[in-house]
Structure 1
Amino acid sequence: MGFNLGDGPPDDGRPLRRGWTTGACATAATKAALTALFTGGFPDPVEIVLPKGERPAFALARHRLDGEIARAAIVKDAGDDPDVTHLAEIEAAVRFGHPGAGVTFHAGPGVGTVTLPGLPLPPGEPAINPVPRRLMRAVVEALCAEHGRAPDVAVTISVAGGEELARQTWNPRLGILGGLSILGTTGVVHPFSCSAWIHSIHRGVDVARAAGLAHVVGATGSTSEDAARRLYPDLPEIAYLDMGDFAGGLLKYLRAHPLPRLTIAGGFAKLAKLGAGALDLHSGRSQVDNAFLADLAGEHAPRSAILAANTAKAALDLARAAGIDLAEGVARAALATVREVLRDAPVAVEILVVDRGGAVIGHAG
């Protein structure tokens, strides 16, 4: 949950460079630190094996062997992904644990703690996700077997500045407090794959369901979310899902994991795309269909002017000048799309079309 919700891809035509997850960095740091406990020396660079067989090597940013504790840190390289953890320093502090304890994981400074149910980890656990734990456990078990020692090892992961960085992620909303999550399923960050954001949406639904919420809000941005908050001031923080452009990611997950009530709030242009059937509302992957808007406006609208409009707002203004409530039409069309995607899922849906000033200008459902 380290996806930066405000950045975008480079626009210079060069190939996008992939990077490494916090989980991969934590695994490499763990391997380096535990090796030092056994041998007194830190491998640098340190190589690990990822779930798909890749074998990246990581340079150590710093390391220290201090009596019974070894520490190794790696600076995360997220490639060209818009990730708040890019260039963050991921540290593993490793010591031998009590006999029979096995491999245990602990949150150091900058790593969060789970406080709400519904996530892959129970409340009270450090926010080190299952796949990174599996990678680190495999490293520990292999090294301990090599040196003839039982794998009773305590691993503490820290992220420099992680508590501050976490404020730019979904973690506070998901009830992960005190820092970032250590994430990754393949160990590789694929630039702008959208998967991190959609993963966060899914976890947000899980948390809301586990808390027994009956109503959640998916918003395309902060202005539309603020408009929904004014309408529903009593909804808790975890009810607000930062849907962004990924309407399909939210709706398809709710189809399989329904909640009783869903409000979708968004700007006119975004919801015009949704009304026309687009489920990815990003400007680079879907466009406003002026012909669709002209059809919605009806026979009394200035059709040729709407078809020639250079922005969705211009089309809205043309319709408004002709006395036509195009925002209501967009809300109804978006509602139809949402219901079609949800199919028979027992979810009552409401659509809010919000203008740039935060006023609700269209409503359906």
Structure 2
Amino acid sequence: MSEQTPTPPEQGTALRRGWTTGACATAATKAAFTALMSGHFPDPVQVTLPKNRTPAFSLAVQEQGDGTAMAGIIKDAGDDPDVTHGALIRAKVRLGAPGSGVTFAAGEGVGMVTRAGLPIPAGEPAINPSPRAMIQQAVGEIAAQFNVPGDVEVEISVPRGAEIAIETLNPRLGIVGGLSILGTTGVVIPFSCSAWIHSIQRGIDVARAAGLPHVAGSTGRTSEKAVQAHHGLPEEALIDMGDFIGGMLKYLRTHPVPRITVAGGMAKITKLSQGFMDVHSRRGQADLGQLADLAATAGADETCQERIRQSNTVAEAFDHARAADVPIGDAVARAALHFALHLIDPQQSQLEILVFDRSGHLVGEATSAP
């Protein structure tokens, strides 16, 4: 997962959907269990996903021996810029103890959960509930077909998964050693950024489970480092919200913590002050006319206001305000706070807005009443 939200193609361009790691793991498991029972791998292998989707997957690898069978599928994320696109998702199955049902193991490149607050308890492989349910359903279908118990150990592995996981938020969430197997519906919708939203929510869950009284969401690396230094926060309190300020705050409305900080650069917090909940550039640019009007409330004269209106960027507008000794950063933070308070429960959480420049220096702040 990168620091910036990926930019989609031009509007109107057809985008191809893909398949989640969970869907690929399900198909690989079904193929491997079928081979374990029959000696033959179905290729392609068809699976049933939520919403009655029944895609078929071609096998990239297959192997059988010593009471096990393994099948692997190359993940196709469609047109989504998913870090796991092209990864090999493998499932190795073996019969389990009578009455054990379907049990899960983490192979190469699949992480282990080490912290509370995630949907899977600590000590378990990072295979989320929805993929587990899909895999259990697939095992049940094959067990019924061959009239055998569905007592199977399923080991999921992703070669290079540990390396790929460095690009995700897994290490911060306490998922060590590799990737998570994700996917609620089995389908990847291009540029829905569902994995990022999922990481934001899980980060909040981990912070709450740890009893942290304060979390800080940041729009990028500079603001994250700056807010961590400003408040002396532990890593578990840092939420990489990217451009999804609204998404983070709405989740905190129903999963509150006592204190919330939103930290970001001048342009993104200016957009928040103007009612943007997703502050990516594709959602529009900050209105410099509105910014000039806001500067007027902070004491900017007509000359300064006109310079702000004629600026090429928000950063240039801030430079004009600073040259005129106008505290525009504080004005932007107050306006952003006024808007953002509608997204949380102010009875449950105190909200703070911090504005940092490109060097990580604090240039504006505002805090709600405790």
TM-score (norm 1): 0.96
User: In 2, Cα distance between the equivalents of 1:4 and 1:158?
Assistant: 23
What residue number does 2:236 align with?
238
Question: Aligned AA for 2:247?
Answer: G
What residue number does 2:124 align with?
125
What residue number does 2:56 align with?
57
Whether the aligned pair in 1 keeps the contact of 2:5 and 2:242 (CA below 8 Å) is no
What residue number does 1:22 align with?
21
Report the alpha carbon displacement of residue 186 of structure 1 after superposing the two structures with TM. Answer: 0.5
Matched, 1:272 2:273: no
User: In 2, Cα distance between the equivalents of 1:142 and 1:242?
Assistant: 40
Structure 2: gaps of 5 or more residues: none
What residue number does 2:141 align with?
142
User: In 1, Cα distance between the equivalents of 2:147 and 2:220?
Assistant: 54
Report the alpha carbon displacement of residue 203 of structure 1 after superposing the two structures with TM. Answer: 1.1
What residue number does 1:222 align with?
221
Whether the aligned pair in 2 keeps the contact of 1:9 and 1:81 (CA below 8 Å) is no
Q: After superposition, give the CA deviation of every residue in 1:233-265 in whole Å (9 maximum; x if it has no partner).
A: 3x2211000011111111111111110111111
Report the alpha carbon displacement of residue 315 of structure 1 after superposing the two structures with TM. Answer: 1.1
What residue number does 2:255 align with?
257
Report the alpha carbon displacement of residue 7 of structure 1 after superposing the two structures with TM. Answer: 6.4
Whether the aligned pair in 1 keeps the contact of 2:5 and 2:243 (CA below 8 Å) is no
2:319 counterpart (300, 317, 320): 317
The DSSP-based 3-state class of the residue aligned with 1:356 is coil
Q: After superposition, give the CA deviation of every residue in 1:74-93 in whole Å (9 maximum; x if it has no partner).
A: 11011111211010110000
Report the alpha carbon displacement of residue 5 of structure 1 after superposing the two structures with TM. Answer: 4.3
What residue number does 1:48 align with?
47
Whether the aligned pair in 1 keeps the contact of 2:114 and 2:174 (CA below 8 Å) is yes
Q: After superposition, give the CA deviation of every residue in 1:282-317 in whole Å (9 maximum; x if it has no partner).
A: 110132011221111115152222222221111111
User: In 1, Cα distance between the equivalents of 2:274 and 2:13?
Assistant: 32
Aligned pairs for 1:192-203 within 5 A: 192-203=191-202
Report the alpha carbon displacement of residue 149 of structure 1 after superposing the two structures with TM. Answer: 0.6
What residue number does 2:308 align with?
306
Bigger shift: 331-340 or 57-66? 331-340
Query: Are residues 297 and 10 of structure 1, via their aligned partners in 2, closer, same or farther at CA, if it must alter by over 3 Å?
Result: closer
What residue number does 1:96 align with?
95
What residue number does 2:155 align with?
156
What residue number does 2:246 align with?
248
Report the alpha carbon displacement of residue 94 of structure 1 after superposing the two structures with TM. Answer: 0.4
What residue number does 1:347 align with?
349
Question: Aligned AA for 2:216?
Answer: V
**RMSD in angstroms over aligned alpha carbons?**
1.4
Question: Aligned AA for 2:291?
Answer: L
User: In 1, Cα distance between the equivalents of 2:8 and 2:213?
Assistant: 40
The DSSP-based 3-state class of the residue aligned with 1:93 is strand
Question: Aligned AA for 1:164?
Answer: E
User: In 1, Cα distance between the equivalents of 2:243 and 2:2?
Assistant: 14
The DSSP-based 3-state class of the residue aligned with 2:282 is coil
The DSSP-based 3-state class of the residue aligned with 1:278 is coil
User: In 2, Cα distance between the equivalents of 1:38 and 1:289?
Assistant: 64
User: In 1, Cα distance between the equivalents of 2:185 and 2:2?
Assistant: 19
Q: After superposition, give the CA deviation of every residue in 1:120-146 in whole Å (9 maximum; x if it has no partner).
A: 111111100011001100111110111
Report the alpha carbon displacement of residue 67 of structure 1 after superposing the two structures with TM. Answer: 2.4
Whether the aligned pair in 2 keeps the contact of 1:118 and 1:210 (CA below 8 Å) is yes
Question: Aligned AA for 1:169?
Answer: T
Structure 1: gaps of 5 or more residues: none
Whether the aligned pair in 2 keeps the contact of 1:273 and 1:281 (CA below 8 Å) is yes
What residue number does 1:175 align with?
174
Bigger shift: 333-342 or 15-24? 333-342
Query: Are residues 280 and 228 of structure 1, via their aligned partners in 2, closer, same or farther at CA, if it must alter by over 3 Å?
Result: same
Question: Aligned AA for 1:297?
Answer: A
Q: After superposition, give the CA deviation of every residue in 1:183-223 in whole Å (9 maximum; x if it has no partner).
A: 00110000001222112111111111011000111000000
What residue number does 2:281 align with?
283
* % identity of equivalent residues: 57
The DSSP-based 3-state class of the residue aligned with 2:365 is strand
Report the alpha carbon displacement of residue 4 of structure 1 after superposing the two structures with TM. Answer: 4.5
Whether the aligned pair in 2 keeps the contact of 1:7 and 1:82 (CA below 8 Å) is no
The DSSP-based 3-state class of the residue aligned with 1:179 is coil
User: In 1, Cα distance between the equivalents of 2:87 and 2:332?
Assistant: 43
Q: After superposition, give the CA deviation of every residue in 1:92-130 in whole Å (9 maximum; x if it has no partner).
A: 000011111111011111001111111111111110001
What residue number does 1:329 align with?
331
Query: Are residues 4 and 306 of structure 1, via their aligned partners in 2, closer, same or farther at CA, if it must alter by over 3 Å?
Result: closer
